[in-house]
Chain A
Amino acid sequence: MFVEWVIFSNESRDVLIKAVKLTKKYDDFVAVDGIDFEIYSGECVGFLGPNGAGKTTTVRMMYCFLPPTSGDLIIAGLSVHDRCREIKQVVGVAPQEDNLDLDFSVVKNLVVYARYFDISKEEALKRANEQLDFFQLQEKRDMPIEALSTGMKRRLIFARALLHKPKVLLLDEPTTGLDPQARHLVWDAVRQLKKLHVTIILTTHYMDEAEILCDRIIIVDHGKIIEDGPPKELIKKHIGENVLELDYDSTLLPMLKQTFSDARIEVIGERMQVFTSKPYSVFDGFLHEHKIQNVTLRKANLEDVFLKLTGRALRTND
Chain B
Amino acid sequence: MTEVNLRKSPAKFSIPKISSNVWKVWRRNADVFTKTIGVNFLPSMLEPIIYLFAFGFGLGGFIPEVNGLPYINFIAPALVAISVMNGAFFECTYGSFVRMYYQKTFDALVATPISIDEVVAGEILWGATRGAINSTIVLTVIGISGLLTANPIITTPLFILMPIIAFFSGLMLSSIAMCFTAISPNIDFFNYPIFLFITPMLFLSGTFFPMNTLPNPAQGLALTTLPLAQIVNLTRGALTGATETLLGLTTKTLIPISIIWITIITIIFFILSINLMKKRLIR
Q: Which of A90-98, A215-223, A229-237, A291-299 contacts B (4 or more CB under 8 A)?
A: A90-98
Q: Is the CB of B111 within 8 A of A65?
A: yes
Cβ–Cβ contact A113 & B2, under 8 A:
no
Closest residue of chain B to A97 (Cβ to Cβ) is B104
* Interface 9-mer from B23-31, B76-84, B167-175, B184-192: B23-31
Residue of chain B at shortest CB distance from A163: B112
For B106, the closest partner residue in chain A by CB is A99
Interface residues in A, total, Cβ within 8 A? 43
* Per-position binary interface string of chain B over residues 2-46, scored 1 when its CB falls under 8 Å from any chain A CB and 0 otherwise: 101111111000000000010010011001100100000000000
Contact with A along B113-134 (1 / 0, CB 8 A): 1110000000000000000000
Min Cβ gap B229→A in Å is: 35
CB pair A103 B35 closer than 8 Å: yes
Docked CA distance A103–B108 (Å)? 13
Are B105 and A99 interface neighbours, CB within 8 A? yes
B2 is contacted by which of A65, A68, A78 (Cβ under 8 Å)?
A78
Bound-complex Cα distance A253 to B175 (A): 72
Which residue of A has the minimal Cβ distance to B31?
A112
Interface residues of A in 19-33 (CB under 8 A from B): 20-21, 26
The answer for the CA separation of A163 and B134 in the assembled complex, in Å, is 36
By beta carbon, the residue of chain A nearest B7 is A81
Residues A70 and B104 in contact, CB atoms below 8 Å apart: no
Name which residue of chain A comes closest to B9, CB basis.
A67
Q: Are A112 and B28 neighbours in the complex by a CB distance under 8 Å? A: yes
A5-B103 Cα distance, complex, nearest whole Å: 31
Q: Is the CB of B1 within 8 A of A20?
A: no
Q: Which of A26, A74, A81, A97 contacts B9 (CB 8 A)?
A: A81
List the B residue with the shortest CB-CB distance to A20: B4
Q: Which of chain B's residues have a CB closer than 8 A to the CB of A113?
A: 108, 112
Asked if A101 meets B108 with Cβ closer than 8 Å, knowing A20-B4, A70-B6, A81-B10, the reply is: yes
| Contacting residue for A99 out of B24, B27, B104, CB 8 A | B104
- Judge whether B103 and A74 touch: CB under 8 Å: no
CB of A81 within 8 A of CB of B5, answer: yes
Report A215 CB to chain B, min CB distance, Å: 21
CA distance A199 to B21 in the complex (A): 27
Using known A-B contacts A26-B283, A102-B103, A103-B103, determine if residue A88 contacts B5 with beta carbons closer than 8 Å: no
Contact A88 B111 (CB under 8 A): yes
Query: In angstroms, how far is the closest chain A Cβ from the Cβ of B250?
Result: 47
**Interfacial residues of chain A within 64-97, with CB under 8 A of chain B in the complex:** 64-72, 74, 77-79, 81-82, 84-86, 88-89, 93, 95, 97
Out of A65, A71, A82, A88, which one reaches B6, CB within 8 Å?
Answer: A71
Cα of A165 to Cα of B212 in the assembled complex, Å: 63
Q: Contacts A15-B1, A85-B113; is A97 near B24 (CB within 8 Å)?
A: no
B4 engages A95 (CB within 8 Å): no
Q: Contact: A93 with B111, CB < 8 Å? A: yes
User: Does A115 touch B at the CB level, under 8 Å?
Assistant: yes
Chain B CB within 8 A of A196 CB: no
A117, CB-defined interface residue at 8 Å: yes
Given A112-B31, A116-B112, A77:B1 Cβ within 8 A: yes
User: Which B residue's beta carbon lies closest to that of A72?
Assistant: B4
Asked if A135 lies at the interface with its beta carbon under 8 angstroms from chain B, I say no
A69 touches B9 (CB 8 A): yes
CB distance from A210 to the nearest CB of B (A): 23
B282 adjacent to chain A (CB < 8 Å): yes
Given known A-B contacts A65-B111, A84-B115, A116 and B283 have beta carbons under 8 A apart: no
Q: Is there a chain A Cβ closer than 8 Å to B107's Cβ?
A: yes
- Cβ of B109 within 8 Å of any chain A Cβ, yes or no, is yes
B residues whose Cβ falls under 8 Å from a Cβ of A: 1-2, 4-10, 21, 24, 27-28, 31-32, 35, 103-105, 107-115, 282-283
A-B residue pairs in contact (CB < 8 Å), sample of 13: A18-B4, A72-B4, A78-B2, A89-B113, A99-B108, A100-B108, A101-B28, A103-B103, A104-B35, A108-B31, A112-B28, A116-B21, A116-B24
7 interchain residue pairs of minimum CB distance:
A99-B104, A116-B112, A99-B108, A67-B9, A103-B32, A93-B111, A99-B107
> Could you list 6 further interchain pairs (A-B, Cβ under 8 angstroms) beyond the known A20-B4, A108-B31, A118-B113?
A64-B110, A71-B6, A79-B2, A81-B7, A85-B115, A117-B113
